[in-house]
């Protein structure tokens, strides 16, 4: 079916193609066609059509992002108005009232990140907006996370299709694998949360689990020591619980990704094969106004701008504020450690890989002798990410999501500017992101370990 849809879509052009690029992500979460045909196929092929000059690139980006955001809002409205009616009808016998109540409480309190990250997983893309409406999540929080997720997802998929061109099926394959990995991770987190609740219920005097009380409680009763250890690792209320586990996993995955990128760069295979394509795209789309923007944006990853920004952020952290999880001096120290550690790691890795810079005739700024990994990308992700983590402490869900998205957008803009200016290859920026994420996650884990029990 997908091959047939792709063949028909690739035969379109102009307004008809833009209408399909808009309609598929809109219907995916509002009419639930995502269970049959993922909307990402149409968005990805929209980028391919833009590469073939059958639709404008800006039009494809606007159609994909608008369709995603509007579709999720429709799904939210359906869930808010008719969700409870559905659950009190024939579907009621399949959904326990207690489970529904807990899901509603979770989405109402901490569902912002679920809305944002759910956009990148096919199954969650279909369900999360409707369940957010059923859980009565504040629409202000929902629409902020919804628009942010739709813009990032739509932009990345369209640009991936634009760069891939005839090789779009390989991109679709990798997108499917990433989506499946995120879904498995979400399932593991949900299972861990259920185990933590089972352990708390058991510790409160709930007694041993009986076969009729569910598989999680049965496993907790059968393997108490292992379940207790897992519960401590996944307890979201404990400083050394879920947050520490996630930090350790992110650090390990980022280091693994960095090692894979090093191998690709040294062997000039896999990801490194995208470098000439991305570089040619950047050079071909240079304009005077965009060059001025990128020349300014790139300073957000330089120590010349980061040091004054850290001084201001440190002043904000040192001001008395209720709800901050760390002492002010430790938070400020973590912020400076993020910048200094990222700078040292990036500059230490450059001569080890010894990757030459892009052709000097394409550079619009000064390029170092060796370019992998990008120090600007490493510093931007680690520093702005740490600033977002620290400033988000003690704030509401909407503020936390806004700070996280803002830090991610700044890091992405810095990386894009390095490629646009011709001073780094695409994989140099990816390597900087991986190294910066590993350092940021390691610092977060260290801070959690240093907190009082």
- Range of the structural domain that residue 422 is part of: 258-450
Radius of gyration of the chain (CA): 23
Res 198: pLDDT: 57
In a domain, 212, yes or no: no
Look at the chain and report how many structural domains it folds into. 2
In a domain, 67, yes or no: yes
Q: What is the pLDDT of residues 351-365, one digit of tens each?
A: 998 898 888 888 888
In a domain, 373, yes or no: yes
Res 232: pLDDT: 63
Q: What is the distance in angstroms between the CA of the first residue and the CA of the last residue of the chain? A: 54
Same domain? 267 vs 122: no
Same domain? 13 vs 149: yes
Residues of the chain below pLDDT 70: 1-3, 30-38, 83-111, 122-123, 165-240, 317, 319-327, 397, 451-453
Domain boundary (107, 140, 169) is at 169
Res 323: pLDDT: 46
Same domain? 108 vs 10: yes
Q: Cα(448)–Cα(453) distance, rounded to whole angstroms? A: 9
In a domain, 200, yes or no: no
Same domain? 125 vs 272: no
Residue 99 CB contacts under 8 Å (≥ 6 apart), including other chains: none
Domain boundary (169, 196, 219) is at 169
b/e code 236-273 from CB counts within 10 Å (16+ = b): eebbebbbbbbbbebbeebbebbeebbebbeeeeebbe
Q: Is the dihedral of CA 335, 337, 340, 345 positive or negative?
A: negative
Same domain? 406 vs 285: yes
Res 249: pLDDT: 85
In a domain, 108, yes or no: yes
Q: What is the pLDDT of residues 227-259, one digit of tens each?
A: 666 666 666 666 667 778 888 888 998 999 899
Domain boundary (125, 144, 169) is at 169
In a domain, 377, yes or no: yes
Res 111: pLDDT: 66
In a domain, 181, yes or no: no
**From start to end of 306-406, where are the E strands?**
none
In a domain, 336, yes or no: yes
């Amino acid at each position: 079916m997908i091959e047939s849809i792709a063949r028909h879509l690739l035969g379109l052009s102009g307004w008809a193609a833009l209408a399909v690029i808009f309609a598929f992500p809109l219907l995916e979460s509002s009419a639930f066609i995502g269970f049959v045909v993922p909307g990402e196929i149409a968005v990805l092929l929209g980028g391919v059509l833009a590469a073939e000059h059958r639709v404008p690139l800006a039009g494809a980006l606007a159609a994909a992002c608008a369709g995603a955001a509007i579709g999720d809002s429709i799904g939210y409205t359906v869930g808010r108005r008719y969700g409870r009616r559905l659950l009190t009808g024939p579907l009621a016998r399949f959904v326990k009232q207690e489970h529904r109540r807990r899901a509603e409480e979770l989405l109402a309190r901490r569902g912002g990140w679920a809305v944002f990250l759910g956009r990148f997983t096919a199954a969650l893309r279909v369900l999360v907006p409707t369940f957010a409406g059923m859980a009565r999540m504040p629409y202000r929080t929902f629409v902020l996370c919804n628009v942010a997720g739709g813009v990032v997802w739509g932009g990345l998929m369209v640009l991936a299709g634009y760069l891939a061109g005839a090789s779009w099926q390989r991109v679709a394959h990798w997108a499917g694998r990433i989506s499946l990995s995120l879904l498995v991770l979400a399932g593991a987190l949900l299972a861990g949360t259920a185990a933590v609740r089972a352990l708390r219920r058991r510790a409160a005097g709930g007694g041993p689990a009986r076969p009729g009380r569910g598989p999680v409680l049965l496993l907790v009763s059968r393997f108490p020591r292992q379940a207790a250890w897992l519960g401590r690792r996944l307890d979201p209320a404990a400083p050394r619980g879920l947050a520490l586990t996630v930090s350790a996993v992110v650090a390990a995955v980022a280091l693994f990704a960095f090692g894979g990128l090093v191998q690709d760069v040294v062997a000039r295979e896999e990801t490194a094969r995208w470098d000439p394509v991305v570089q040619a795209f950047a050079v071909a789309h240079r304009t005077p106004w965009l060059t001025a923007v990128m020349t300014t944006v790139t300073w957000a990853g330089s120590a010349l701008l980061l040091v004054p920004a850290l001084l201001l952020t440190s002043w904000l952290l040192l001001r008395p504020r209720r709800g901050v999880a760390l002492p002010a001096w430790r938070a400020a120290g973590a912020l400076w450690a993020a910048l200094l550690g990222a700078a040292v790691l990036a500059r230490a890795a450059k001569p080890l890989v010894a990757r030459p810079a892009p052709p000097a005739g394409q550079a619009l700024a000064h390029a170092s002798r060796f370019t992998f990994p990008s120090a600007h990308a490493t510093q931007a992700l680690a520093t702005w990410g740490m600033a977002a983590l620290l400033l988000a402490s003690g704030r509401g869900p909407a503020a936390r999501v806004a700070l996280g998205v803002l830090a991610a957008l700044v890091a992405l803009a810095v990386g894009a500017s390095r490629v646009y200016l011709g001073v780094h290859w695409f994989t140099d920026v990816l390597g900087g992101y991986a190294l910066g994420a590993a350092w940021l996650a390691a610092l977060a884990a260290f801070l959690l370990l240093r907190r009082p029990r």
